[in-house]
Amino acid sequence: MCGIVGQISNEKFVITDTVNALKRLEYRGYDSVGVATMEGDIYKDIGHISPFMAMLPLVATNAAICHTRWATHGKVTKENAHPHASFDGSIFLVHNGIIENHKELKKKLSISGIEFVSKTDTEVIAHYIAYEIQSGLSIVDAIRSFMGVAQGTFAVLLLHKEEQRIYAFKRDSPLVLGILDDGFIVASDIYAFSDKSPKAVFFDDDEYAIISPDSYEFFSAKGPIQKQVTEVTWTGTVEKDASFEHYMIKEIHEQPAAARRLLASLEGEQSKNMNELATIARSIDRILFVAAGTSYHASLIGVYILNSIGVEAHTLIASEFHNYMLADEHALVIAISQSGETMDVVKAVKHARSKGAKVASIVNVPHSTIQRLSDFSIEILAGQEICVASTKTYTNQVIALLRLAQLMGFETDLSTIPDDISKVIESSEAYVMELARTMKDTHDIYIIGRGISYPVSREVALKLKEISYIHAEGMMGGELKHGTIALIEEGVIVFAFIQGPDYDMLSNIEEVEVRGANVIMIADNPNFSPDFLLSLGTMSAFPIAATIIGQLFSYYIAKEKGLPIDKPRNLAKSVTVK
Ligand code: AGP
């Protein structure tokens, strides 16, 4: 979370150029925004990037850094917004990550008389480095000294006043250098410069770089290092389509095309990788998925299908993976992540590797940290997803898992999925819109499913929480009677997702209806007379199609409520803190 961008060039540029590149990373956080020039001018404010840009003066410079914040330490205030300056005004920096021992470092610096103006963990970096320089170290040695004492995660861009250079260093938080025709952009991820250049150099942990307008040098703790320049290829487009009011609905509608693109690739250029992954999966004792949020829900579907063909598979939310999952050389760990940067997943993957497990990944963002940490990686080719809520990437994650299972013996025809998705959107959108109008004052929604519908219930609940701000619980139909049913009373809405002739789900529906619940049934069995009948070419499309109904509900309820759909409060798309 937090997006950082630095720009440097021989030609002077206006700082709105740099902030424009930052805008492409706004999904990483949008609590506050700020920019600093090498001359020492700092502009910052709370809120989103567009209003900030509108009031920015047209200052020109040869080096600038900027930041969009997702607050961790210190409230959302102007003082806590980045960039932060050192006590002597010589150092300006932006940071993504958390300095875990910031209190300890702050205490030491405060004893030396340094006053802190913010409540952030970041400010300590600026003061520490400036203090070390005043004590006689070169700027590079001061940075190295900081990297030696710092605990936690960081990607930092630093300007030393009047010096035409950007200093960049990182541990665990992502950082990448983009090579432009005239100068460089250094940023949290490749999307900051994907409209300008495909050439990227990825930082590894504990590396730092000195970036000048004409050249760059990379260093590890041992000295200078040579880095590989990667040519990045992009999938899909991110242009706002005037026919859609929000990215979320645009991305929901993109799902048939994204699914088609992935299926073609899994049969084409990614087929070798996919076959290798299936071969490894067959040769080990068990598959362990690791993921967070929506990606975790996709992994539950993977577990369900693989177990159905006798393949031992488990999944766990990444932040607890090291506590509850036995990863060893007999396991294949498959990390699923849209961004490929989720810190909890990165940590779990590093843990699994240290225990001898093989690691594969299913990611959307090419060259992301998780992809680079993996022995094998499948790209889901959904194209950039701008809305904080995952929609099309969930669908493609499920398709990738279905394909893996198919190669391991799961009998299915995946070719009808794109058309199934199109049909579901066409046939249900207007009715969802109508029902959503009646739900705008709803406080609680309970969502139940069994078997392959259980992950759907979890995913739809997540969408309703993050986008519609409705308290929603997604649970196993069988679990309701063990407590949660106490909350069912007259008028409470229950969504029931039913795949196949699941009469146990019908019983669960009866149990809540007799207690006054209004049930909305989404099923593929016409005999059940559901509110939404999913007529699908393949049962494999069910967890995708059913979830899309939920995506549409969360979108249209949020729209009725006038909520900030693409950038919901308190969230960020790329969660790069623990
Ligand atoms: C999805 O709608 C959420 N915004 C969130 O739960 C997300 O799925 C989670 O943070 C994991 O992200 P990743 O797939 O990029 O790892």
Q: Which of 27, 294, 371 to mutate to test the pocket of ligand 1 (most atoms within 8 A of CB)?
A: 294
Q: Does residue 70 sit in the same domain as residue 176?
A: yes
pTM of the model: 0.90
* Per-residue pLDDT at 383 exceeds 60: yes
Q: Residue 435: inside a domain, yes or no?
A: yes
What's the whole-number mean pLDDT along residues 529-533?
Answer: 97
* Per-residue pLDDT at 153 exceeds 60: yes
Which three-class secondary structure string do you get for 31-69?
A: CEEEEEECCCCEEEEECCHHHHHHCCCCCEEEEEEEEEE
- Ligand 1 atom with the shortest distance to the CA of 390: 2
Identity of the amino acid at 536: L
Strand ranges in 172-324 using DSSP code E only, listed in sequence order: 176-179, 184-187, 199-202, 207-211, 216-220, 223-225, 230-231, 286-291, 313-317
- Note if 66 is an active site residue: no
Q: Does residue 438 sit in the same domain as residue 456?
A: yes
Q: How many residues does the chain have?
A: 578
* Per-residue pLDDT at 236 exceeds 90: no
Q: What is the pLDDT of residue 239?
A: 56
Q: Does residue 494 sit in the same domain as residue 557?
A: yes
Q: Which two tokens stand for residue 460?
A: 């739809």
Q: From CA 395, how far away is CA 545, in angstroms rounded? A: 9
Q: What is the pLDDT of residue 71?
A: 86
Phi and psi at residue 32, to the nearest 5° = -155, 170
Tell me how far the alpha carbon of residue 146 lies from the centroid of ligand 1, in angstroms: 31
Q: Does residue 210 sit in the same domain as residue 284?
A: no
Question: 224 and 530 in contact (C-beta within 8 Å)?
Answer: no
Residues 6+ apart with CB under 8 A from 26: 3, 48, 49, 68, 567
Q: Residue 578: inside a domain, yes or no?
A: no
Residues of the chain above pLDDT 90, percent: 94
Q: What is the pLDDT of residue 105?
A: 97
Q: What is the pLDDT of residue 574?
A: 83
Q: Does residue 265 sit in the same domain as residue 216?
A: no
**Which range marks the domain in which residue 523 is found?**
426-565
Q: Residue 336: inside a domain, yes or no?
A: yes
Residue 477 burial (10 A CB sphere; 0-12, 13-18, 19+):
buried
Q: Does residue 164 sit in the same domain as residue 24?
A: yes
Q: Residue 577: inside a domain, yes or no?
A: no
Q: Residue 570: inside a domain, yes or no?
A: no
The mean pLDDT value of the chain amounts to 95
134-138: long-range contacts (C-beta < 8 A, 24 or more apart)? 134/88
Q: Which two tokens stand for residue 48?
A: 């989103």
pLDDT band at 557 (very low <50, low <70, confident <90, very high): very high
> Can you say whether the dihedral through the CA atoms of 87, 90, 95, 100 is positive or negative?
negative
Tell me how far the alpha carbon of residue 338 lies from the centroid of ligand 1, in angstroms: 7
Q: What is the pLDDT of residue 240?
A: 61
Q: Does residue 173 sit in the same domain as residue 313?
A: no
Q: Domain count of the chain?
A: 3
DSSP state of 7: E
Q: Does residue 221 sit in the same domain as residue 252?
A: no
Q: Does residue 285 sit in the same domain as residue 215?
A: no
Which protein residue's CA is at the shortest distance from atom 2 of ligand 1? Answer: 389
Q: What is the dihedral of CA 100, 104, 108, 113, to 10 degrees?
A: 80
Q: Does residue 342 sit in the same domain as residue 448?
A: no
Write out pLDDT tens, residues 325-378.
999 999 999 999 999 999 999 999 999 999 999 999 999 999 999 999 999 999
Residue 239 burial (10 A CB sphere; 0-12, 13-18, 19+):
exposed
* Per-residue pLDDT at 242 exceeds 90: no
* Per-residue pLDDT at 534 exceeds 60: yes
Residues of the chain above pLDDT 70, percent: 99
Write out pLDDT tens, residues 31-83.
999 999 999 999 999 999 999 999 999 999 999 999 999 888 899 999 999 99
Which protein residue's CA is at the shortest distance from atom 4 of ligand 1? Answer: 389
Tell me how far the alpha carbon of residue 158 lies from the centroid of ligand 1, in angstroms: 29
Last residue of a domain, one of 231, 255, 287: 231
Last residue of a domain, one of 358, 391, 415: 415
What's the whole-number mean pLDDT along residues 149-155?
Answer: 96
Which protein residue's CA is at the shortest distance from atom 16 of ligand 1? Answer: 337
Which three-class secondary structure string do you get for 295-313?
A: HHHHHHHHHHHHHHCCCCE
Per-position DSSP letters for 130-188, written without gaps between them: HHHHHTT--HHHHHHHHHHH--EEEEEEEEETT-S-EEEEEESS--EEEE-SSSEEEES
Q: Does residue 192 sit in the same domain as residue 259?
A: no
Q: From CA 501, how far away is CA 542, in angstroms rounded? A: 13
Q: Residue 294: inside a domain, yes or no?
A: yes
Question: 6 and 64 in contact (C-beta within 8 Å)?
Answer: yes
CATH of the domain at 343: 3.40.50.10490
Last residue of a domain, one of 177, 197, 231: 231
* Per-residue pLDDT at 238 exceeds 80: no
Q: What is the pLDDT of residue 233?
A: 82
Q: What is the pLDDT of residue 575?
A: 87
Q: Residue 38: inside a domain, yes or no?
A: yes
Q: Does residue 255 sit in the same domain as residue 144?
A: no
Write out pLDDT tens, residues 75-126.
999 999 999 999 999 999 999 999 999 999 999 999 999 999 999 999 999 9
Q: Residue 532: inside a domain, yes or no?
A: yes
What's the whole-number mean pLDDT along residues 306-322?
Answer: 97
Residue found under tokens 């909305």: 520
Tell me how far the alpha carbon of residue 143 lies from the centroid of ligand 1, in angstroms: 33
CATH of the domain at 160: 3.60.20.10
Q: What is the pLDDT of residue 237?
A: 55
- Note if 2 is an active site residue: yes
The ligand 1 site (C-beta within 6 Å) comprises 292-295, 337-339, 342, 345, 388-390, 466, 575
pLDDT band at 188 (very low <50, low <70, confident <90, very high): very high
Beta bridge partners of 449: 476, 497
Q: From CA 204, how far away is CA 209, in angstroms rounded? A: 11
